[in-house]
Structure 1
């Protein structure tokens, strides 16, 4: 770092920090005290955790891992874990959970700046008027007077929202201002402005007069948003379907109740979603049973009528039965082909019309045993149901999970359409073949006697209807048993409980550590900011850092304006003796008879230093004269307590002799030339040749000539005087001189506009370890 650098000097900053040690005694206790108050008044938060299993393989009620009924293959579910977590924390599940818990009203008690929520045992119980519109998110204070058996309800707020309790909707309008203050008997219902309820006061409850009791009505939407944002669901690992649910709450029991109810609600939701598929299958079978039952009754009536009209013919011959069996088999085969074709045609119609495929029965329930078609329908149905739940949860079609699921459903639907079209084509080919064989069998059958053919037809219809009816009844019973004994792949592994033995926030160690750090940082920051903003010279180290010019001496701060003759060993006198000695040795190779004093601005002690340096030089036996060349603001005569008279300005305009200017002082060997009357043109006078003539004359009479000139940073007179000056002492006052003034003098020296320049640091404050402490002991 260069000597003239104005960047932060760490050693200088450290010295300034050490000098302001008392600031730390203020800020550290204040910050630590504020932290202790924060820890005392801030409600503690605890973490509640539970464990939920998602994805265990489902088993039927008979313990068989295989599919119990092909028509109920909807029990299979391979949902990805991310989708399940999204559904678990969806708005739909959260809303259902919170509706069951009744978190709509929260009770609080504030005492000694500490607010505590009451959940298990509140101070009172609020029963809202469900048909009234109520204010929400506003503390409603209740003050109980057990002596008079009354309670006071009061509240105040701005931009208050309104809530329809019956519909659980937040109304769009706001109340700009709201104020409530009423007192009613304890057994009466409270009816106020947008506030209507009844309070039940527990008989065994006492009320502390120093406590402030209040409650807040929460909207269902706000509760859902709050709990959804604060509930974390984290999977155990990539290879596991176990999910950890966690929640930070102020009341442990409330958090436990919420997580337990959330898991129960989710499991019930998944079970209901699965059973809806089974219900759809049973409804389809019931419709088929109704149709077959009507046909069976008609066939039974036809058989009874035929037997009565045929003279008691009870059965057909073996050949007739053989033809009948073949004919029945072919018709059954034809029926199966038609069902396959009709089912696939129905699926294609739904796809082409963009209908919802969630309610399409499984193909196996229609007697279609095609694994590819069956799996496609099941997968599309499952994904469509999950997509509907996600739409309710996120409410945005731009959600990446929603987009991925829609793309997957679209691809599966295209595969389903292709498979269905292929099956329809195969069915048409098979139908042509079966119809041909059936025509030949029908021809052989037509050669049989009329009554035998009629009986065979009736028996065929009866057996067909009876078999189909029994088959459908069997399948319906199996589907009902499977639904009743169903177990889904979600289960609660661990009920909710508090994690650990301590609260998680606020963290005492972190808060106190942060407060201590802040208490140390504040004064350091203030000192650094002050150092960056404050453009002042604060000590000799900074002065040396900002300028390469030699520092002649440091003048201590003093209330006296000059050295007293009877105190030759004072700190002030010693500092100027040091300046005198340093002048002799630091400038040994140059003339040093004429010394000019200047500074950057007024008030930096230029005249003070000039008078006192002249004093110590006179006391050392040198004939010394001090000239007050600051004709704009002369101060030398005032400091020496001498009368005003002819002075420098008088000489420069040619109205006085040199001897008339010189005045002796009360100090031996020390004379003074005052500034004289203040002229209107000091700069013009400073350019006069008589100035150089005066100094040359004084060189022959005095050993030392001290010139107290105008500030260099304000006016230009000293630039003209420098031609007659041997050494320039540039006065810098600690805490006042700006750093930019050092840049100016450095530039002038570097450009050789000035020569033989020394710095004199004035008004130095006493610090332990500096040179002045020796003289104060």
Structure 2
């Protein structure tokens, strides 16, 4: 029989895997298409991301530790490494400088081919806003002079929802409770609608990347990703330019101002020095005085030092007074210089620097916004606050300088008294010498500072340079749409196969021959293919060349080996529950026996739910229930069918005690009597899983056929077969697998029986 050939377990597992995939192929295909469609949707609507990149060369220089001269100190840029430069480029400080050239605060969008596209500078209109930041506006073009502005579901600061929908003229400031803006048209509006958002802060929306081109290279690659290719190019170039300028901008500016100041002072001191030298020379010629006494030299030197300090304080005081007047006037403050005031006044220098930055920021904002813009208002308050602080600081510095001047003047007066007691010629010569020494000392000091400043200015020439500027990106780097769709299809395939195996694992219905073999050692007698639902229940007689007829012939052959040739064959057919095809198998098995010239009879012993008479169109007024109860004789209940060699005993009226009737001695006598007249006696028993009648009838049979239906019978039903197989009273127990699906090649799920040669005969 079919279950006697050797089987490779590994091969069965592989086959089962492919059978499971094939069984759920429609579901798997559905998941593949579903995930593919979802991934295609995501890939299509995901915005394009463009990347622009530029390269800069970093002029790295190590610190000259052995040099202490002013040239090396001025030229020394400090310790520079590629990692340091990378962090500088990524810093907020540099981004702030680059953002001065690129606008991220105004975002304009439209929809084309169902996708949202950002327009940037390609927007046909521009928006100036003083109020209403971060509110999404929708704009519809009406005509060349007007537009329709719509706001849906926005919330104010108190969380109250508000709406707006009006037709407005271009170029006119619109002031409402929630926003203050002006829309200027600069090109025809070709799309149906646009929407825009204006942010209060100008912040980049993409990601900046900085990498070394190689491990030991001094060339850095600056890249930036954005949804707008032009903006990506502009911001990348702005970063590179800001990087080149940031290292030299401040030093160059301060050095230039300091040089201007020193040159002015040198011009004055040079004239004073020349005048002092001429007066000393004339005095020497007129008085024949060559040198001073040691006491006079000490007094002169001390007075010279005090007067030099007094002169420095006077110069600083003059600068402070000039700065004070300019702050008070409030004009050209961005060009103020604090050089020459003194190294101890760092706080004032920082305040002036902060004031200048605030003034420059305000100027930049005023190019796009009015004085009502919140950012401008904030800067205006900051400027006023810084002016007040600077004036207070200058007042404090002037008070401190006045105190120093008074102390120095007292010291000079004291030295002057000591000098007055000296002879007149020596005293006069000492005064001239003192003035010359003071002027000479200041002149030397200014020359030294000018040299230092000139060297520092020269050293601010950048060693960095831009190698390649960013080009306009032509193709997006993200998203990888083909990859997204491919991943979606793969995920769909994986999900579909996983769900298929999960369903197969959770599905406890019998589907294949292997399911039975894994659960029981009972032999499999055969397989019955799926029969179409129609009224022709005797398929073997209606279509004798069909796969169904051939499967019953195979079953008939297998049954011949299970009975003695000189004895009638009693076959009990049962199942676990109704609906597994028990009665259909009985009538077709009897029909295939009759074709082989064997006289066959079918007994319908399923008295609780009889259906046998319906298949032959016979009366059910009397039958097994009346026979076993003694109401009728055996001969009167046997009914002839239209088919030769095929008789039937129907169930008869439903009795109140079918179990007692089946278990009576008369049942055995009826079977023995029928053995005398028929070659094959088929008992259509009740389902064994519902009542015990079938087990009684199986004791009387030579062969017992247990029906299991694929896709319907549960694997737990096989437990009943195992229980019956250990009973010695039950003979010839075998399994018949019913309703097997045959694929297009004529095979079932790998059962090894091919019925493809046989075709259904058309009626």
Task: Report if TM-score (shorter chain) is over 0.5.
Answer: yes
Other-structure match for 1:237: 214
Q: Deviations over 1:663-719 (max 9, x none)?
A: 433333333333344345555655555544544444444322212223334444433
Verify the 8 A CA contact 2:581 2:707 in the aligned structure 1: yes
The equivalent position to 1:246 in structure 2, one of 223, 226, 237, is 223
Q: Quick check: 1:214 aligned with 2:195? A: yes
Deviation, structure 1 residue 255: 0.5
Q: In the TM superposition, what is the alpha-carbon distance from 1:539 to its structure 2 partner?
A: 5.1
Q: Deviations over 1:257-276 (max 9, x none)?
A: 11111233344444457679
Are residue 621 (structure 1) and residue 621 (structure 2) matched?
Answer: no
User: d(CA) in 1 for partners of 2:427 and 2:632?
Assistant: 164
Aligned to 2:110: 109
CA shift, 1:118, in A, is 1.9
Given the alignment of the two structures, is residue 505 of structure 1 paired with residue 478 of structure 2, yes or no?
Answer: yes
The structure-2 alpha-carbon separation of the partners of 1:20 and 1:281, relative to structure 1 and needing over 3 Å to count, comes to same
Listed one character per residue, the Cα deviations across residues 29-84 of structure 1 (whole Å, up to 9, x for unaligned) are 88878877777665543321112344523999xxxx97773795594322443344
What is the CA–CA distance in structure 2 between the aligned matches of 1:693 and 1:463, rounded to whole Å?
Answer: 157
Q: Deviations over 1:486-535 (max 9, x none)?
A: 13454433222256x64323435435644665676676566555544444
Per the alignment, residue 138 of structure 2 pairs with: 141
Deviations 1:168-199 (A, max 9, x none): xxxxx574645332211234334456333212
Structure 2 residue 160 is the aligned partner of structure 1 residue 186: no
Of residues 156, 160, 170, the one that matches 2:152 is: 156
Structure 2 Cα separation of the partners of residues 256 and 13 of structure 1: 54
SS of the residue 1:135 aligns to: coil
CA distance, structure 2, for counterparts of residue 89 and residue 750 of structure 1:
82
Query: Is the Cα–Cα contact under 8 Å of residues 663 and 672 in structure 1 kept in the other structure?
Result: yes
Cα distance in 2, alignment partners of residues 652 and 459 from structure 1: 160
Distance 1:314 1:596 in 2: 157
Q: 2:51: which partner in 1?
A: 47
1:723 to 699, 703, 706: 699
Name 2:242's counterpart in structure 1. 265
Deviations 1:576-604 (A, max 9, x none): 22221222247789998222222233212
Partner in structure 1 of residue 83 of structure 2: 82
SS of 2:539 mapped into structure 1: coil
Q: Distance in 2 between matches of 1:613 and 1:502?
A: 73
1:151 Cα shift?
A: 0.8
1:736 shift after superposition: 2.2
1:534-589 CA-partner distances (Å, limit 9, x unpaired): 44344556666766544433323233322375654444333322221222247789
CA distance in 2, matches of 1:193, 1:694: 103
* Paired residue total: 620
Change (3 A) 1:234 1:589: farther
Q: Which residue of 2 aligns with 1:201?
A: 185
Please give the secondary structure, in 2, of the residue aligned with 1:259. helix
Check the 8 A contact 1:3/1:545 in 2, yes or no.
Answer: no
- Per-residue CA deviation, residues 85-113 of structure 1 (Å, 9 max, x unaligned), is 23422334334433542221122232232
Q: Which residue of 1 aligns with 2:367?
A: none
Seen in structure 2, the aligned counterparts of structure 1 residues 546 and 276 have a Cα distance that, compared at 3 Å, is: farther
Aligned residue runs from structure 1 range 277-296, under 5 A = none
Distance 2:718 2:18 in 1: 22
Distance 1:152 1:693, change over 3 A: same
Corresponding residue of 2:574: 598
Unmatched runs of 5 consecutive residues or more in structure 2: 1-5, 310-341, 344-420, 747-753
Q: How has the CA–CA distance of structure 1 residues 85 and 660 changed in structure 2, closer, same or farther, with 3 Å as cutoff?
A: same
Q: Kindly tell me: are residues 644 and 453 of structure 1, through their superposed partners in 2, closer, same or farther at Cα, counting changes over 3 Å?
A: farther
* Residues 1:496 and 2:500 aligned together: no
Q: Quick one: which of 707, 710, 717 aligns to 2:686?
A: 710
Aligned to 2:551, what secondary structure does the other structure show? helix
Aligned to 2:451, the other structure's residue is in SS state helix
Counterpart in 1 of 2:759? 776
Partners of 1:758 and 1:48 in 2: how far apart? 77
Q: 1:39 to 1:679 in 2, by over 3 A?
A: same
SS state at 1:76 partner: coil
Question: Residues 562 and 269 (structure 1 numbering): CA distance in 2 closer, same or farther, change over 3 Å?
Answer: same
Q: What is aligned with 1:413?
A: none
Which is further off, 270-279 or 667-676?
270-279
In the alignment, the residues of structure 2 paired with residue 456 and residue 714 of structure 1 have an alpha-carbon distance, to the nearest angstrom, of 143
Any idea what the Cα deviations from partners look like across 1:421-459, whole Å, max 9, x if unmatched? xxxxxxxxxxxxxxxxxxxxxxxxxxx999999899979
Q: Establish whether residue 316 from structure 1 lines up as the match of residue 291 from structure 2.
A: yes
2: distance between equivalents of 1:755 and 1:470? Answer: 133
Kept after mapping to 2: 8 A contact 1:123/1:213: no
CA gap 1:640/1:30 in 2 versus in 1, 3 angstroms: same
CA distance in structure 2 between the partners assigned to 1:123 and 1:111 by the alignment: 15
Contact 1:57 1:489 in 2 (8 A): no
Q: Distance in 2 between matches of 1:114 and 1:482?
A: 58
Offset of residue 608 of structure 1: 0.7
Whole-Å Cα distance in 1 between the matches of residues 570 and 42 of structure 2?
68
Residue in 2 that maps onto 1:767: 743
Residue 526 of structure 2 aligns to a residue whose secondary structure is strand
In structure 2, C-alpha distance between the alignment counterparts of 1:750 and 1:271, rounded to whole Å: 100
* SS of aligned partner of 1:601: coil
Aligned partner of residue 773 in structure 1, secondary structure: coil
CA contact (8 A) 1:536 1:737 kept: yes
- Say whether 1:56 aligns with 2:60: yes
Structure 1: gaps (5+ residues): 163-172, 336-364, 367-447
- Give deviations 1:221-260, integer Å, cap 9, x for gaps: 7x34x33xx2222223333343212223333221011111
Rounded Cα–Cα distance in structure 1 between residues aligned with 2:660 and 2:255: 113
Structure 1 residues 573 and 207, CA gap change in structure 2 (3 angstroms):
same
CA distance in 1, matches of 2:547, 2:293: 146
Residue aligned with 1:637, SS:
helix
Quote the RMSD (CA, aligned, Å).
5.2
Instruction: Tell me what 1:575 maps to.
Output: 551
Measure how far apart 1:638 and its partner are: 2.3
- CA shift at 1:609, angstroms? 0.7
Q: Distance in 2 between matches of 1:475 and 1:600?
A: 114
Worse-matched range after superposition: 507-516 or 103-112: 507-516
Who is 1:123 aligned against? Answer: 124
The whole-number CA distance in structure 1 between the counterparts of 2:32 and 2:152 is 38
What is the aligned counterpart of 2:15 among 3, 11, 14?
A: 11
1:574 to 1:90, Cα distance in 2 relative to 1, 3 A: same
